[in-house]
Structure 1
C-alpha cells in the first residue's frame, strides 16, 4: 500500500501561492478601471480560441452525423450480416466511451453543472484533459447516434479553453472565474450562431450576476467567437424555418398561454425524468458503466432502422416539423421516442448535453398542439410554426428556469425577432408553472446531485480554499441599508471592498450597504454560497 507522507515544503509553497493570489486580487480591486479594461481584451482572446475549438467540434460532429445517416441508408440495402457487424462495432465504441468517461469524469454529461460548480468555487477542472476528452467522446457519442446535444459540450469546451488562457497568463482565481464565464458564453454563441443568447445564458444561468465586470468580457467573447464560427460555417440559422408569420394578438393570445402551460408541464416531466433516470440504471442487469453505455448504443442501433429521426441532437427534425405535415400518430411516436431515448442517453454519463434534445421535445409538443388547433380550425395552418417556437421557448424556460435566455435563444435560432413579446410571455408563464409544480432548475439540481455524490475532486481541499466572492446587493435584500457590523456574516469572512457606481469604498464597521452595491468578500469556498445569498435573500 502506498504511504501518505506530510510534505512541509509543499504546504509552504501552497500557502505562498495563496498569498500571492490574494495580493494580486487586491491589486485588481484597487485598480478597477484598468482591471475592467484588461478583461475586455482578455474576452476577445478567449472568444478567438473558444470559437476555434467549438468550430472544430461542430465540423467533426457534422461529418460524424453525415456518416451515420449514410451508413444506415447503406446498411438497409445490404444483407443482415453487415448489420450484425455494425452492432459489433457499437460494442467497441462503447468500450472507447467507457474508457474516456472513466479517464476524466468531469467531462461527463453536458458539462454545464460542472462549469457552474467551478464558477462557484466548488469544483476543479483539469482544463486540457477535459478539452480533449470532451471533444473526442462528444464526437464519438453523438456520431454513434446517442440523443445528446452539442451545446453543453460546447459551453464546457469554451469554459476550459478560457481556463487554459487564464492559466497561461497566470491570472487570479477571481479573474479566472470571470474568464470561465466568458468562455462559456463564447461556447454557446459559437455552437448556435447566437451571441446574445450566449451572453444571457452565462449571466442568467451560470454567474447569476449582471455586473459590468462580468458582462463586458462575456459580450466580447461571445461576439468574437460568433465571428470566428461564421468564418467557417457562414451566418446560417440553426433552425431553417422558411417564414414565420406574425402571431395575431387577439384571441390567439389565449392559445399561446395554453401552449405555454402545456409545454411548461412537459418541461417539469422532462426534469423529473433526467433526475430519476439513475433509478433505471440501478437495475441489477446494469452491473457496470460499460453495460449502461452499450445498452444506449444498441438502442441507437435499433432506432437507426426503426425511428432514425430521434438519433443525435435533432435539429434536422425541427426543420422538418416547421416545413412538413406529420401524421398525429408519428408525432406522438417521435415525442415518446425522443423523450425516452434522451433519458437513456444522458443517463449513461457520457459527454453530451440535453440542451438541443430539450428544444426538439419542445418543438414536438408544439407540433402536436398545432395539429389539434389546426384540426379544430382555431388557427390557420401557416401559424403552426408560431406554436412550435412558443412551445420551444416555454419548454426551455420551465426546465432551465432562464426565461430571458430562452426568449433570446429561440429568436436568434429561428431568425425571427417579431415574436419577442409573445415568446417572453410564454417563457414567463412556463417559469411560473414550473415554480408551482415545485420543479428545480435542472442545472442547479444536477450540480447539487453531483456534489452530494462526492464525485468532485478533492472536495475538502476545494472547500477550504480562500476566494474573493463578488456579491451584488439586490433591492429588498437581507443586508440592504444595514451596517457592516450588523450583517450576519458566516465565519472566516472579511469584507474587503465595496463598489458603488463609479465609487470605490473602503468599508469599515459603520459602512451602510445599499441596493446596487457590489461587495467583494474574502471567504472560504464552503461559505461562498452563503455569502452570495446575503445579497439576494429577501427581508422577512
Structure 2
C-alpha cells in the first residue's frame, strides 16, 4: 500500500520516468495504429471494388451473400471469444480505468485488430478511431503491467496509449490529449497532461511519416462567416444539438433492439449488418464503410433531397452496424453524418437566406464540431479535433458557439453522453462484491470543483464513500497530509485511498459529490 501511494503522489520523482514510458507507448501504439489504419484503407477500397464487380457480374451475387454470412458468423465468434472487442472500444477503456473490467490485453489487441479489419472489409458503417484508441490502450496496458509502479500509474499509461491511438488515427495529437483529459479522466492533472501529450506527439509523428502532413478532410475554406451571419450559427447549434440527442437515443435503442429479437444471439447477431452491407453495396455503395467516399458528394451542386436521402440511409446503416456489437467505432461515421447535416443546412441557407456558396464548407466544419459535441459531450475535444482534421484555424469563435450551443441543447433534452451511456449498457448487471475489503489498494485522484460538496468543508464533515481515506492534498506546489480539521479548497488535488473492490463504486460516488 505504501509503495502504491508513494509512487503516485511523489510527482517530481515519477514525472520523468512516466513521460519516458509514455513516449515508448506512443511509439509502439502509433506504429500499431498506423498499420491498422493502412490495413483498413486497403480493406475499405477492396470492399468498394468487390461490390462494384459483383454489381457488374450479377451471377456472383449468391456467392457474395454466402461469404458475407460466413464473415458475420466468424465475427460473431470473435466477439463471443473476447467480449471486450465489441463495439467502439472506448467504453471498454473507460471501464478498465474506472475499475469495472480486467482483460487479457494481448488477446484484445489481436482480436480487435482482426475484427475491425473484417468489419470494414465487409463494408460496415464503422470507424477506425474507437478501435485505434482501444489498440493504443491495450499496448499501454501491456507495457504498464511490466513497468508501472502502481495501479494508478498503470492507468495513466493506459490513457496515454488511448491518446496515442486517437492521435495516430486522425493525425490529431492535441485532440488525443484533450480526449484523455475531457472524456476519459474528466479532470486536469499535470502528470496526466505530460504523459498523454508525450504519447500523442510521438504517435502523430509516426503517423505523419506514413500519411503525410495533409489534414484528414480536404475542405476548401476560402472565407469566413460575417458577424451578421452568426444567427445561422446559433440556429445550426440548435439543429445539431437536437439531432445529436436523437442519434444517442436511437444508438442505445438499436443495441437493445438486437437483444430483444428472439432468433438473434451472440453467435449470429453480426450476420445482420453484413447482409445489409451486401444490399447497400449493390444498390447504394456511397454509404459503405466509414464514410470517406460520402465527402465527394457534399457540394453546393448537390440537391437537398439527395443529401437528405444520403443522411437517412447512412444513419440507418450506422445504427444497424454498431447496434450489432461489431468491432468498430462511431467517431468517423458521426463526423460524416454531421458533415451531411451541415451540407443540408448550408444548401438551405444559400437558397433561402443569402449565404454565399463560398461558405458551404465552413458550415460543414461547424456542423461536424457541433454534432460531435452534442453526442460525445466533449466540446473542447470536438473543436480541437475539427481544427486539426481540416487544417483550418480560423473558426475558433464560430466553432465554440456551435459546440457549446449543441451541448446545452443536448443537456436540456436529457441525452446522456454516448460513451457514458454505452458503458452503462456494458456494466448493466455487473456483479462485484463491494463489501468485501481487499488487501490491494489504489489511490484515486480528484480535483475539488467549485460549488461541490467538498469545497470549504472540513475533512471530518465530508460524507466520504465507504472504505475511502483521504491520505494527501496537493495545494499549489505544496503537498501535505490532512487531518480532520483541514478545510478543502476549490482546486485542491485530493488523493483518496480505497481498496480495489470498491474502486468503481467510489469513483462514481466521488464524481457525483464533486459535480
Q: With structure 2 as the length reference, what TM-score do the two structures score? A: 0.95
The 1:225–1:378 alpha-carbon spacing in structure 2 relative to 1, beyond 3 Å, is same
Which residue matches 2:376? Answer: 400
How far, CA to CA, are the matches of 2:194 and 2:130 in structure 1? 22
How far, CA to CA, are the matches of 2:416 and 2:385 in structure 1? 21
Give the secondary-structure state (helix, strand or coil) at the position aligned to 1:251. helix
Which residue matches 1:375? Answer: 351
How far, CA to CA, are the matches of 2:11 and 2:264 in structure 1? 55
Give the secondary-structure state (helix, strand or coil) at the position aligned to 1:440. coil
1:339 paired to 2:327: no
Which residue matches 2:448? Answer: 473
Give the secondary-structure state (helix, strand or coil) at the position aligned to 1:522. strand
Which residue matches 1:95? Answer: 73
Which residue matches 1:312? Answer: 289
Q: Are the counterparts in 2 of residues 471 and 535 from structure 1 also a CA contact under 8 Å?
A: no
How far, CA to CA, are the matches of 1:494 and 1:328 in structure 2? 59
1:239 aligned residue (206, 217, 228)? 217
Give the secondary-structure state (helix, strand or coil) at the position aligned to 1:132. helix
1:212 paired to 2:187: no
1:54 paired to 2:30: no
How far, CA to CA, are the matches of 1:125 and 1:320 in structure 2? 42
Q: What displacement does 1:302 show?
A: 0.7
The 1:229–1:492 alpha-carbon spacing in structure 2 relative to 1, beyond 3 Å, is same
Cα-to-partner distance string for 1:148-178 (whole Å, 9 max, x where unaligned)? 1100001111111110110122531110111
Equivalences, count: 510
1:220-235 residue pairs with structure 2 within 5 A?
220-235=198-213
1:127-526 residue pairs with structure 2 within 5 A?
127-241=105-219, 243-284=220-261, 286-321=263-298, 323=299, 325-454=301-430, 459-460=432-433, 466-523=441-498, 524-526=502-504
Moved more, 421-430 or 243-252: 243-252
Cα-to-partner distance string for 1:14-66 (whole Å, 9 max, x where unaligned)? xxxxxxxx232222245320112222111101101110110111011011011
Give the secondary-structure state (helix, strand or coil) at the position aligned to 1:467. strand
How far, CA to CA, are the matches of 1:506 and 1:531 in structure 2? 22
Structure 2: runs of 5+ lacking an equivalent = none
Cα-to-partner distance string for 1:486-505 (whole Å, 9 max, x where unaligned)? 11111211111111111110
Give the secondary-structure state (helix, strand or coil) at the position aligned to 1:289. coil
Q: What displacement does 1:474 show?
A: 1.2
How far, CA to CA, are the matches of 2:273 and 2:28 in structure 1? 33
Q: With structure 1 as the length reference, what TM-score do the two structures score? A: 0.91
1:125 paired to 2:100: no
Q: Are the counterparts in 2 of residues 29 and 497 from structure 1 also a CA contact under 8 Å?
A: no
CA RMSD of aligned residues (A): 1.8
The 1:280–1:392 alpha-carbon spacing in structure 2 relative to 1, beyond 3 Å, is same
How far, CA to CA, are the matches of 1:535 and 1:288 in structure 2? 39
Q: Are the counterparts in 2 of residues 346 and 352 from structure 1 also a CA contact under 8 Å?
A: yes
Which residue matches 1:77? Answer: 56
How far, CA to CA, are the matches of 1:331 and 1:527 in structure 2? 45
Q: Are the counterparts in 1 of residues 76 and 268 from structure 2 also a CA contact under 8 Å?
A: no
